[in-house]
Amino acid sequence: MVMQRLSGWGRTAWTVADLVHTTDVDVVRSTISTAGERGVISRGLGRSYGAAAQNAGGIVLEMTAENDPMGIDADFDPLTGLLTVASSVSIDAILRMCVPQGWFIPVTPGTRFVTVGGAIASDVHGKNHHLDGSFGQHVRSVTLMLSSGEVVELSPEQNSVWFWATIGGMGLTGVILRATIAMLKIESSRVEVETVRLDNFDAVCAAMSADGSDDDYRYSVCWVDLLATGASMGRGVLTRGDHAAANKVDNKDPLAYDPRLTVSAPGWVPNGLLNKWSIKAFNEAWYRKAPSKSHIGLESIPAFFHPLDGVNRWNRLYGKQGFIQYQFIVPLDRTDVLRKVIEKFSAAGVASFLAVLKRMGPQNKAPMSFPTEGWTLTLDMAAGISGLAELLSEVDTLVLDAGGRHYLAKDSHVSAAAVRRGYARIDEWMSTQEEMDPIGLWRSDLSRRLGLVDHRRLL
Amino acid sequence: MKNGVGVAQNIVLFGGTSEIGQAIIQKLVKPGVSHVVLVSRDIDAADVQIADVADRYPDLEVHHVRFNADDSASMVHVVAEVVQQVGDIDVAVIAQGVLQEGVDYYADPAALQSVADVNFTGTMVLMYALAAQMRSQGYGKMVLMSSVAGERVRKGNPVYGATKAGVDGFALALDHELVGSGVSVLVVRPGFVTTKMTKGMDKAPFSTDAETVASAVEKAIGSSRTVIWVPGLLQYMFLILKNLPTAVWRRLPL
């Protein structure tokens, strides 16, 4: 038994669990059969920010295949673009394999260091949600181990209720073993990107609305400066684009793909490095760096999709205190709430290094999937700010009163009541979850805090 | 567990009528706390004090468990009862204690026994029971109300001082034993605190109040500190007092 201290990517709320690293189905089965009443949860690359992949006092199945000497456990058909892959494989590995063959992952979050299992369990979304939906819409089938040890095949056609309960199910329906994903055809490894600087929050919202030109671009996201005040409040840099055609790239090999980690954040960063002043300076520079007139250029996949991955372990930049990421969504007509939230954080002097706004498309069929038609705002902040619990609770109320909700893969603080209010289909999901896991084996720190599964069920 | 902003879900106060304990609970209850359990001999007295916290947080559930702090044999059962009611114990504030200033232990040796049972034996048994529970949870924090009185035991109240010296040392060693388990202990050493326990006594230098102690605990609970002194200056004062030659120490009007 290896007792290990674990946290999410935000490096807060550490707890100790029995960590079992495996990608072997038989080991998974024998491990879950030995579990006690604290249960089991699976963990991938630990990129969810809060406690989704932690299980205090229980077992955490770490299913990653980063350094697998056998190579990627995947079966890819470059004719159809169907990729059948082990859940432990990362999007990074998939891109390395598929981009040179002319295929891209249909949905990528802001980091490529997530496993397929994690991407499905969190039903991750990317800059193309307004047109392409979230990860789950591109999954053709999932192979899942239930708490009984039985392995089942789920797809939108076969066992569809169980399939959609697993998409966005936070790993609480079973251990995802394999999945088949419909990949996206690309001609080059470059993205044609239009960059526009927007003077204030109204301009940001107008530019991204559906009646604007947002739907003409596959990818669209806006970085927002939360520290700008007065007339510049909520100013931003909007970037949108699509995969570039081969003839736009003057390169011998238009599909060449070579992502690199450039620098690594050291382990000794003090708590206060990212503060109101340093972030203000960064924001000013970032805003000024963007051209004032609309500009079109070519960017690489890592630069456009995964800029933070360039700094290895960037989560250390907040120091030992860690940080939290706050992501919520509100309906399209509630930009007033976005504004109020921004003002509230700004008035409290909370500086956010990353603040990103995106307009999301319609919701998929998964009851616990986060994205729904509306605006999603993502910001991060140091966990040690005093009075943060009270401030966040006020913001939560604003979001929930507007009919919004919080993204569980990012969450590290909301209450059980907040999830019940935000996710209208939670009872339906919980009864499916109980049907799939009658003994109540799957548990995580997140599920305990949010009451996602009934913890009175005994093993 | 605690959440990402350091708020524990379930908080338990042993010695539910303790003023310092109650003050600590008031500080620790924030948005995100689900359950507070008051463990005390006198449930009604504990309830009166917590009432305004419960008013501020309508979603908070307040529970009561009865115990006799001098009945060390019952502690395992008491912890089990708390777990039965709320599930995990994320933070346990251990604040039961008796002072008995001015008792003539020559005339009343039985009184000595009860001080030792509450402050020392009962507290140790309780902390072992909590340690076992928290270990199985993979997370937990115990906050022990110790005292500067244990640093160098005074002639004025040798029994109280000795029990605090004992339990303080025990708690530090327990924290050491728990390294790597996700469980830790915070030992709080206040100086003279003006509460009902010290009512009628002359104030000692550097006296403090329950509110100040509670703020210090709130600050320290999210850190990796094992010991705090309230006020902080006492740490240096006792460094000196502890190392004074006996002849000098005995002349001090303490």
- Measure the CA–CA gap between B48 and A270, rounded to whole angstroms: 43
Question: Residue B174 in 3-state DSSP?
Answer: helix
Domain B10-249 sits in CATH 3.40.50.720:
yes
Q: Does B135 touch chain A (CB under 8 A)?
A: yes
CA gyration radius, chain A: 21
* Bridge partners of residue A85, in order along the sequence: A74, A179
Residue that is written with structure tokens 């003409």 in the block: A216
Q: Name the 3-class secondary structure at B63.
A: strand
In this prediction, residue A230 carries a pLDDT of: 81
Residue of A nearest to B85 (CA): A456
pLDDT tens readout for residues A91-120: 999 999 999 999 999 999 999 999 999 999
**Tokens matching residue A226:** 């939360």
Of B3, B9, B34, the CB nearest to A412: B3
Residue A204 and residue A189: Cα distance in Å, rounded?
Answer: 28
Whether the model pTM is above 0.95: no
Q: Which residues of A touch B (CB under 8 A)?
A: 3, 5, 8, 10, 12-17, 38, 49-51, 55-58, 322, 324, 383-384, 388-390, 392-393, 412-413, 415-417, 445, 448-449, 455
Average pLDDT, chain A: 92
Give how far A146 is from chain B: nearest CA, Å: 24
B27 and A CB contact within 8 Å: no
B197 pLDDT above the threshold of 80: no
What is the rounded distance in angstroms from the CA atom of residue A359 to the CA atom of residue A131?
Answer: 10
Query: Which pLDDT score is estimated for A456?
Result: 65
Chain length of chain A: 459
Query: What pLDDT was estimated at residue A261?
Result: 65
pLDDT at A459 exceeding the cut of 60:
no
Inter-chain contact A389–B30, Cβ cutoff 8 Å?
A: yes
- Among candidate residues A152, A153, A126, A150, the one with its CA nearest the CA of residue A138: A126
Tens digits of residue pLDDT in A331-384: 999 999 999 998 898 888 887 877 899 999 999 999 999 999 999 999 999 998
CA distance A295 to A210: 21
- Beta-bridged to residue B91, according to DSSP, are B11, B141
Please list the residues that pair with B64 across neighbouring strands: B38
pLDDT band at A278 (very low <50, low <70, confident <90, very high): confident
Which of the residue ranges A2-11, A154-163, A229-238, A269-278 would you say has the lowest mean pLDDT? Answer: A269-278
Catalytic residue among B105, B106, B128, B160: B160
Q: What are phi and psi of A92, to 5 degrees?
A: -55, -50
- Verify whether the Cβ–Cβ distance A12 to B6 is below 8 Å: yes
Residues A133, A93: Cα–Cα separation, whole Å: 22
Tell me, yes or no, if B138 comes closer than 8 A to chain A by beta carbon.
Answer: yes
Q: Is B166's Cβ below 8 Å from some Cβ in A?
A: no
Distances in whole angstroms, Cα of residue A290 to Cα of each of A222, A226, A342, A417: 12, 16, 22, 41
Q: In this structure, is the dihedral angle defined by the CA atoms of residues A134, A138, A128 and A53, taken in order, positive or negative? A: positive
Structural domains of chain A in order of their starting residue, each with its CATH number: 74-186 (3.30.465.10), 190-420 (3.40.462)
Task: Tell me whether B9 touches chain A (CB under 8 Å).
Answer: yes
C-beta atoms of A324 and B5 within 8 A = yes
C-beta atoms of A57 and B139 within 8 A: yes
Residues of A in contact with B34 (CB under 8 A): 415-416
Interface test with B, best of A413, A448, A457 (most B CBs within 10 A): A413
**Sequence-distant (≥ 6) Cβ neighbours of residue B80 within 8 angstroms:** none
Question: Could you give the CA distance from residue B11 to residue A312 in angstroms, rounded to a whole number?
Answer: 37
With an 8 Å Cβ cutoff, are B3 and A413 in contact?
Answer: yes
Residues 6+ apart with CB under 8 A from A5: A14, A15, A16, B180, B182
Yes or no: say if B31 and B6 are a contact pair by the CB < 8 Å rule. Answer: no
CA dist., res. A73 & res. B161, Å (int): 65
Span A248-262, average pLDDT: 83
**Predicted-complex ipTM score:** 0.90
Strand, helix or coil for residue A154: strand
Query: Any chain A CB within 8 A of the CB of B215?
Result: no
Report the chain B residue with the minimal C-alpha distance to residue A324.
B4
Let me know if B57 is a catalytic residue.
no
All structural domains of chain B with their residue ranges: 10-249
